[in-house]
Amino acid sequence: MINRSRHRTRRQKSGGSSDSSRMDLNAKLEFNVVAVDQGETVHLLLEMAAPELEGERRRDPAHLQVVLDRSGSMATGKLYSALTAIDSLVGRLRADDRFGLVTFDSGVEIPVAGGPVGDGSAIRSALHQVHVGGMTNLSGGLVRGVQECQRISDGNSSTLVLLSDGHANRGIIDHATLGSIAHGAQGERITVSTIGIGLDYDEDLLEAISVGGSGNAHFAETGDEAGAQLASEVDGLLEQVAQAASLTVKPGDQVSQVRLFNDLPVSGIEDGFMVELGEFSSEET
């Protein structure tokens, strides 16, 4: 089992010298002793912990893409709260950070083409032009958001956050297919997180997307809570110490079968497999 529970813990600092940029890996075997030449099922827990982000260390420019549902159901104040939260987070980004906004209803629009934030004035002006629309073409928004990430990232990692309060009823609606789209973005070093707003959104769909994209699945009962969840996602982005992290596992000759007890994306490689872990924030495990 690989533990990727996404929480932060304060670790005691060692008095000796250490590589402050290195990930820590801890393995816990179920048994201290395993019989030789005897078949037995053994559980192994792998825990990874990110280093602390040092105060004087200047981070690389962040790449953030927001994909926002503006369908008719967002009219009850949810869209306004989401746009207010986006306006607030823009104020926390540096001029050289890159930001883009894709909106979707029956169709897809790009109010803010991905690029440097600058002084943020152009972004804020564009936010005022976003209004409630019609149906929910979530797949169109997701695909266009991934394309925008690819365009602005220059091969660097980026984060896509999708906010929706409903069910996909236009375009691709199959959960597995949408999860595969998010998983495919991993190959482009794109992490996909979701924020479900209200009590009527398709939880299973957003969960499939976030799992496929190695991101977080947030729940927000109100538009204001969605803003807080978006802020939390940005907190992690601005404190990232590892991006597009993965774990390679190559079982020994005496291991006949390996099973993972989680939903992390896995791909086969020669003599083993690779688990996609996504990004890590400062001191996250």
Condensed to tens digits (0 to 9), the pLDDT of residues 146-159 reads 999 998 877 788 99
Helix axes 203-212, 175-186, angle to 10 degrees: 20
Angle (CA) 239-97-116 rounded to 5° is: 170
Q: Where in the chain do CATH 3.40.50.410 domains reside?
A: 63-238
Burial of 151 (0-12, 13-18, 19+ CB in 10 A): middle
**Using one digit for the tens of pLDDT, what is the confidence trace for 72-128?**
989 888 899 899 989 988 988 999 999 999 999 999 999 999 999 999 999 999 999
The highest-confidence range among 9-13, 207-211, 255-259, by mean pLDDT, is 207-211
What confidence tier does 12 reach under pLDDT thresholds 50, 70, 90?
very low
Amino acid at 37: D
Q: How far apart are CA 212 and CA 176, in angstroms?
A: 9
Mean residue pLDDT of the chain comes to 83
In what helix (H) or strand (E) does residue 77 lie, and over which residues does it extend? none
CATH of domain 63-238: 3.40.50.410
DSSP state of 103: E
- Other CB atoms within a 10 A radius of the CB of residue 144 amount to 20
Residue 24 has pLDDT above 90, yes or no: no
Share of the chain above pLDDT 90, in %: 43
> What pLDDT, on the 0 to 100 scale, is given for residue 52?
64
Q: How far apart are CA 98 and CA 95, in angstroms?
A: 8
Contacts for 284 with CB less than 8 Å, ≥ 6 apart: 6, 7, 8, 49, 50, 236
Q: How far apart are CA 11 and CA 55, in angstroms?
A: 16
Q: Which residue has the higher pLDDT, 173 or 8?
A: 173
Angle (CA) 80-135-146 rounded to 5° is: 75
In what helix (H) or strand (E) does residue 26 lie, and over which residues does it extend? strand 24-29
Amino acid at 51: P
DSSP state of 170: S
**Using one digit for the tens of pLDDT, what is the confidence trace for 48-63?**
776 665 654 567 788 9
**pTM (global) more than 0.85:** no
**Using one digit for the tens of pLDDT, what is the confidence trace for 130-145?**
999 999 999 999 999 9
Q: How far apart are CA 238 and CA 57, in angstroms?
A: 12
Strands 272-281 and 266-269, bridge-based pairing: antiparallel
> What pLDDT, on the 0 to 100 scale, is given for residue 244?
64
Q: How far apart are CA 103 and CA 67, in angstroms?
A: 6
Share of the chain above pLDDT 70, in %: 84
What confidence tier does 169 reach under pLDDT thresholds 50, 70, 90?
very high
With beta carbons less than 8 A apart as the criterion, state whether 240 and 156 touch: no
Encoded tokens for 275: 């688990």
Which of 5-9, 25-29, 179-183 shows the lowest mean pLDDT across its residues? 5-9
